[in-house]
Amino acid sequence: MTVPDSAAVPPGHLVIVSGPSGAGKSTLLCRVLDQSTFPLAVSTSATTRNRRPGEIDGESYHFLSPEAFETHRQAGDFLECKEVFGRGHWYGTLREPVTSGLNAGKWVILEIDVEGALDVLQQFPGAITIFIHPGSVAELERRLRSRATESEDAIQQRLAEAGRELERAATYQHQVINDNLDHAVQEICDILAEQGD
Ligand code: 5GP
């Protein structure tokens, strides 16, 4: 007997959202969560970077020591993981919450960098990909500086990384320019609605 392909495909949808640090992805996604009628779940990544003021462990990220992160990595617990922004800071998507969310029919949103997105696409070629652009590079720099949580070196690293991320934007199915929050939120809701039809 031939088992139909669809039997292996989990009922949910995987949505990959990338864009330079400071493009406003988290704020946008918060608003999309409030506004969308789909069962959305934003995956909480693990990271070894320091917690910023206002960030909550287990919500913003799972903040892990480098040793704990490495233990998960060795155990194969990550769907993907990368050292983003040069030496020292690891970020990763834990596999289990993603697969259980998809199996439960959720729209699981991954907010990850372009390298991580490539790894996830190899495993989930049907994922929906959305790239968030800052209004302009000047606006991006303003946002990074207004956080006032990072050293000048870190800001420069993030700006350089932003250039590399923007070069890969065209490989994403959907481009959203975040120069107006309300419009950008609506655009993302429209993209999801199109896929849900
Ligand atoms: P931030 O330190 O500003 O919170 O995030 C820095 C960058 O790391 C963001 O552009 C974000 O897309 C990326 N990032 C966050 N979580 C993950 C993850 O789990 N995997 C990968 N590959 N990148 C991530």
Measured from the CA of 49, which atom of ligand 1 is nearest? 2
Among 54-63, 133-142, 148-157, 175-184, where is mean pLDDT lowest?
A: 148-157
Check if 43 has its Cβ closer than 6 Å to any atom of ligand 1. Answer: no
How many C-beta atoms surround the C-beta of residue 146 within 10 A?
A: 9
Check if 93 has its Cβ closer than 6 Å to any atom of ligand 1. Answer: yes
Do 118 and 164 meet the contact criterion of CB atoms below 8 Å apart? no
How far does residue 5's CA lie from ligand 1's centre (Å)?
A: 32
The alpha helices in 43-113, defined as continuous H runs, are 66-74, 95-103
How many C-beta atoms surround the C-beta of residue 174 within 10 A?
A: 18
Q: Which residue has the higher pLDDT, 155 or 133?
A: 133
User: Would the pLDDT of 134 be above 60?
Assistant: yes
- Tallying the residues shown for the chain, one arrives at 197
User: Would the pLDDT of 151 be above 90?
Assistant: no
pTM over 0.85? The answer is yes
pLDDT in tens, 39-53: 999 999 999 999 989
Residue whose Cα lies nearest atom 3 of ligand 1: it is: 21
Residue 127 pLDDT level (bands cut at 50, 70, 90): very high
Check if 134 has its Cβ closer than 6 Å to any atom of ligand 1. Answer: no
Check if 80 has its Cβ closer than 6 Å to any atom of ligand 1. Answer: yes
Q: In percent, how much of the chain has pLDDT > 90? A: 70
pLDDT value at residue 1: 45
Classify the C-alpha dihedral 155-148-87-21 as positive or negative.
Answer: negative
pLDDT value at residue 32: 97
